[in-house]
Amino acid sequence: MARDWEATLRSWVKPPSDNEDAKRNTTESEIKKALSASARLKNVQYKVYAKGSYANNTNVRLDYDVDIAVECTEFCYHDIEGAAKAKKDKVDASFRPYGKAYRPKDFKGDVEAALVDAYGRAAVSRGNMALRVRERKTTLPADVVPCCTYILVSDIDPSGNLTSRHGARLHPDKGPHINNWAQQQYDRGVTKNNATGFRYKFMVRALKRLENELVSERLLPNELPSFFIECLVFNVTDDAFQHKTYVQDMREVLRQIFNSTLKEETCHEWVEANYMKYLFRPSQPWTFEQAHTLAAKAWAYMGY
């Protein structure tokens, strides 16, 4: 019997269960509690917030780890673009120099120590960028990401008010720093979702589930990052989500991804879902060829 793809997609677009949402909330709450109990972090200013697919409501049942940022606000990095370049001295003067010896690597070490104190060494592993906390019966696995405040300034007025965008800077154990734009991703996602009659995030979830199935069937060699899949759907035009059925929506989503990634020139201007960085550049950990293969395999698998 042929597969009912409309019914499949309708099941895939649904968000995870209330039980999983409760576990997500418990996970975030426990991590905040672990950090607040740390003597080493007692005099450090920081904030904790969820980011990634859970924060953006694009998570699916098979990709259920929680991304939690722990942003140190003790110090702030900034860069300058646009009109602000001609006013660099004034922009730089608006940021107070940081005179303490405390550094990002110290902060990551203190966050790690706090998690180990709370969960035990066996439950916490250190990655290049994140600290992985193992799941328990009442919690989900979590990637805790120590970072610090980052501001990109585009202008400054005569009164010293900045036109800027706030993000976070990650300092991996190895490799260059990475600027992250969690709030911009959230805001742009909400705008895109509203413009598509709330079907943008439905299609993100559906394509993530489809990609998981392709990997399990060994039609794709490796899993692709959840964020990458979200970005691919983000670049699809809003009218792709206006069909009567989800099967028609998915067909148009895959068609646009496939055609746009035939060559680098046709997707050169594609952006991340935060609208702050280009999606396909040499510094990125993925390629347009991977996107093209995903669309081709998914198209054939669904029998379009």
Region of 303 (left: φ > 0; alpha: ψ -120 to 50; beta: rest) is left
Q: Identify whether 102 is part of a domain.
A: yes
Q: Clarify whether residues 70 and 149 are in a common domain.
A: yes
Predicted pLDDT at 62: 56
pLDDT band at 64 (very low <50, low <70, confident <90, very high): low
Last residue of a domain, one of 180, 196, 211: 180
End-to-end CA distance of the chain: give it in Å, rounded. 17
Where a domain ends, among 180, 209, 233?
A: 180
Query: Is the pLDDT at 46 greater than 90, yes or no?
Result: yes
- Kindly report, residue by residue over 133-158, the tens digit of the pLDDT: 998 888 888 999 999 999 999 999 99
How do residues 223-264 score in pLDDT, each as one tens digit? 999 999 999 999 999 999 999 999 999 999 999 999 999 999
Angle between the N-to-C axes of helices 246-260 and 5-12, in degrees from 0 to 180, rounded to the nearest 10: 80
Confidence band (pLDDT; 50, 70, 90) for 1?
Answer: low
Are 245 and 230 members of one domain?
yes
Q: Are 146 and 70 in contact (CB under 8 A)?
A: yes
Residue 190 and residue 101 in one domain: no
The answer to whether 50 and 57 are in contact (CB under 8 A) is: no
Would residue 119 count as lying in a domain? yes
The whole domain housing 236 covers: 185-302
Residues 42 and 153 in one domain: yes
CB 169 within 8 A of CB 179: yes
Name the domain boundary from 180, 215, 237: 180
In a domain, residue 96? The reply is yes
pLDDT tens digits along 178-201? 999 999 999 999 999 999 999 999
How many structural domains are present in the chain? 2
Q: Do residues 160 and 237 share a domain?
A: no
pTM here? 0.92
CA distances to 14, 149, 298 from 46, in Å: 34, 9, 42
Dist CA 121 CA 133 (whole Å):
10
Instruction: Clarify whether residues 166 and 192 are in a common domain.
Output: no
Q: Are residues 220 and 155 in the same domain?
A: no
Kindly state whether residues 174 and 189 are assigned to the same domain.
no
Phi-psi region of 178 (alpha: psi -120 to 50; beta: other; left: phi over 0): beta
Tokens 């439905």 correspond to what residue?
202
User: 2 lies in a domain?
Assistant: no
Q: Does a structural domain hold residue 225? A: yes
> CATH no. for residue 65?
3.30.460
Greater confidence, 64 or 212? 212
Q: Does residue 38 sit within a domain?
A: yes
> Do 251 and 168 sit in the same domain of this protein?
no
